[in-house]
Structure 1
Amino acid sequence: MQPIVTVTMNPSIDLSTAVDKVMPIHKLRCASALRDPGGGGINAARVIARLGGDVTAFYPVGGVTGQLLHKLVEEEGVRGLTYEVAHETRQSFTVDETGTGQQYRFVLPGPSFSDAEWQEALRLVADLPVASGYLVLSGSLPPGVPDGFYAEAAKRTAGRLKPVVDTSGAALRLALTHGVFLAKPNLRELRELTGQALEDDASRVAACRAVIAAGHAELLAVSLGEDGALLVGADAALRAVSPPVVASSAVGAGDSFVGALMWALAAGKPLDEAFRWAVAAGSAAVITPGTELCHKGDVERLYHQVVVQPL
């Protein structure tokens, strides 16, 4: 099992609750809140740990909420590697409206970083005591952190850690310009990257192959929501159909996908098997409430229901 390090520059404490109906002005009496550590890389690390992988989560902490975040991460069985920043770690909120089945997600921007703080983060990532393995760069970047942060992190760990990026916008484009082992855009992000409509699998695979041929990535995993996912390399293209599930919460499905995919690849599993585990984990996350992410038993059960076909 190769080691995995996740980097989360904009972590959060994720609160989730439920109410019969969301209304303005009125006080809304909510159900007891669930509280989980969050942020892209932290969520991926939680899944890797649940599946038995060797994972360390790197993230900044600030104030009382930062200390609570670190406690919650370690309670998940994840090794947390932290550093202090001046401002409070953010919180995010998910509210399930039980009367309609709708879900409302309120995402705060996160604390603003000084130049010294994000530069220190880069130094710490470059000095990670890991000789080989995977570096998962996941989630949004907080205010003050430049769009090229993930690209620079990949550059400074080149030759030791294979970079995996799961972000969007300029941060994704710049990371791809540097070159990564794997990127996980969703379909909207792939359309933005390529400027194409990408209405069918053939055009989507061709777009991924163009990104790969340009040297921007070795693998692209494209999430298609309820329609499953694609995994494309220079010599292989796989299409997965997600098993039918009753959705409870969409929170963390993509992070669960990434976590399971990296766990499987780090364990040396073949590409098609790793892809199957990833889709199973994403589906398993959808059936759990709030911000719980996927459960190992659900992932193992759904694994056998995922259909993977070559294209």
Structure 2
Amino acid sequence: MKKKILVLGGAHIDRRGRISGETAPGASNPGTWFEEPGGGGFNAARNLARLGFQVTMISPRGGDPMGETVGEAADFAGIDDRPFVFLDRKTPSYTAIIEKDGNLVIALADMDLYRFFVPRRLSIRWVREAFAAHDFILFDANLPEETIAAIVAKAHSLGKPVAAIAISPAKVVRLKPCIGDIDYLFLNEAEAAALAGERPEDAAGWPPLLNEIGIRNAVITRGRRELVALCEGRRAVTLQPPIAETVADVTGAGDSLAAGTLAALISGLPLEEAVRHGTAAATLTVQSRHAVNENLTPDLLNEALALVPKVRILH
């Protein structure tokens, strides 16, 4: 029987402008424009569905054509889509400008609608039933701080493991009140620094900082440098991501890493091995112009896994 994963968080429209030549700050840059459904939670949900899990997505959405586009993408991915639709409001959006090498220049997140996902919505009968029926809970930090705390509390009251995607340095701080109760956390260095209050120069500096603020299991990505995984607050490992032959777009890489890692964790692997699966998924994503690699399958992930090195033990 397929494992069931409940995802709560961002499901909106991603707009990405890609600069064709060398980036000229403060000037008009020739480039191309691309638009597709996205969002941290939604990207992870689509990856998990492609990897064979039964996925339900709960997210606020506007009563507009953009909301319909997101719903169609959820249906296409095989996700059980359960939005809260606000007919008089617009669907959130994320607009990014990307350099020709695929790296982010700047982004603007128009996410006001997510503040309407208040804790009392978790008491709706079908939401309560969804929590009870699923094996694992995943959310992202697009949601309000009090809702995040309520999600974590509800998951733990039901004995369900819970994971979080940090989204951004500005939003990851919403996790602070319940950080010690999140079973798995996925974030990048900037987001980790926003939580810890400092940014060590090398990988070995991260585990003690994470321990100090109560984090037990986490994966910190560091761009092309080796990522850091903290396992049960004691064991720490690093992993050098393979260099992708081509980088089409880095959007969604962190969400794919979270999904690939969680897929392996739910299948019974320890975090220090599961993170290799997440790295393989992220490598496939950056080679696609989409936030979710349209060709992702368990077999393709296994092929990519062969190119991912073994972890190195920090302590």
Q: Which amino acid aligns with 2:13?
A: I
Read off the aligned partner of 1:264 and give its amino acid letter: A
- What displacement does 1:17 show? 5.6
SS in 1 for 2:130: coil
SS in 1 for 2:183: strand
1:169 to 168, 172, 178: 172
The aligned amino acid for 2:243 is P
Which of 300, 303, 307 is equivalent to 2:302? 300
Aligned-partner SS, 1:248: coil
- For 1:274 and 1:299, locate their aligned partners in 2 and report how far apart those are by CA, in whole Å: 12
- Report the 3-state secondary structure (helix = DSSP H, G, I; strand = E; otherwise coil) of the residue aligned with 1:296: coil
SS, match of residue 132 in structure 2: coil
Q: CA deviation at 1:131?
A: 3.9
Query: Where do residues 103-142 of structure 1 align in structure 2 (5 Å cutoff)?
Result: 106-112=107-113, 118-124=118-124, 125-131=127-133, 133-141=135-143
Task: String of CA shifts for 1:114-164, please: whole Å, max 9, x gaps.
Answer: 76x5244332444425345221111423xxxx4232112111222332121
Q: Work out which structure has the larger RCO, using CA pairs closer than 8 Å and 6 or more positions apart in sequence.
A: 1
SS of the residue aligned with 1:130? helix
Any conservation in 2 of the 1:280–1:306 contact (CA below 8 Å)? Answer: yes
Quick one: distance in 1 between partners of 2:294 and 2:207? 28
Q: Is contact 1:220–1:232 with CA below 8 Å preserved after alignment?
A: yes
Task: Give the aligned partner of residue 287 of structure 1.
Answer: 287
Question: Alignment partner of 2:59: what SS?
Answer: strand
The amino acid across from 1:309 in the alignment is R
Structure 1 unmatched runs, 5+: none
Alignment partners' CA distance in 2, 1:28 and 1:203 = 41
Distance in 2, Cα, partners of 1:20 & 1:190:
31
Query: How far does the alpha carbon of each residue in 1:18-70 deviate from its partner, in whole angstroms, 9 at most, with x for none?
Result: 56468989897846x4x432111110011111111222111122112212211
Does the 8 Å contact 2:8/2:140 carry over to 1? yes
Report which stretch shifted further, 296-305 or 21-30: 21-30
Query: What residue number does 1:38 align with?
Result: 38
Distance 1:204 1:162 in 2: 24
Corresponding position of 2:73: 72
Moved more, 231-240 or 11-20: 11-20
SS at 1:184 equivalent: strand
- Which stretches in structure 2 are left out of the alignment for 5+ residues? none
Alignment of 1:269-288 (within 5 A): 269-288=269-288
For the pair 1:230 / 2:228, whether they are aligned, the reply is yes
Whether 2:266 is the aligned partner of 1:266: answer: yes
Distance 1:129 1:147, change over 3 A: closer
Aligned-partner Cα distance in 1 for 2:109–2:203: 35
Q: Considering only aligned residues, what root-mean-square deviation do their CA atoms show, in Å?
A: 2.9
Aligned pairs, how many? 297
Please tell me whether residue 193 in structure 1 is matched to residue 191 in structure 2. no
When residues 281 and 68 of structure 1 are mapped into structure 2, their CA distance, relative to the original with a 3 A threshold, is same
For 1:102 and 1:224, the matched residues in 2 are separated by: 13
Q: What is the one-letter code of the residue matched to 1:50?
A: R
Q: Is the 8 A contact 2:141 2:172 kept in 1?
A: no
Letter in 1 for 2:225: D
- The answer on whether the counterparts of 1:96 and 1:102 sit within 8 Å (CA) in structure 2 is yes
Question: Which one of 292, 312, 315 corresponds to residue 309 of structure 1?
Answer: 312
In structure 2, the partner of 1:54 is: 54
Provide the TM-score with structure 2 as the length reference.
0.82
Change (3 A) 1:113 1:3: closer
Cα distance, 1:259 vs. partner?
0.8
TM-score, normalised via structure 1 length: 0.83
Please tell me the residue identity of whatever aligns with 2:242: P
Whether contact under 8 Å (1:132, 1:160) holds in the other structure is no
Is the 8 Å Cα contact of residues 61 and 90 (structure 2) preserved in structure 1?
yes
The answer as to whether partners of 2:189 and 2:221 remain within 8 angstroms in 1 is yes
Q: Contact 1:134 / 1:163 at 8 angstroms: preserved in 2? A: yes
Is 179-188 or 200-209 further displaced after alignment? 200-209
Work out the CA distance in 2 between the residues paired with 1:102 and 1:189.
Answer: 17
Distance apart, 1:106 and its partner CA = 4.0
Q: Give the one of 171, 181, 184 matched to 2:183.
A: 181
Please state how far the C-alpha of 1:236 moved relative to its aligned partner: 2.1
Query: What is the aligned-residue identity percentage?
Result: 21
User: Distance between the aligned counterparts of 1:48 and 1:253, measured in 2?
Assistant: 14
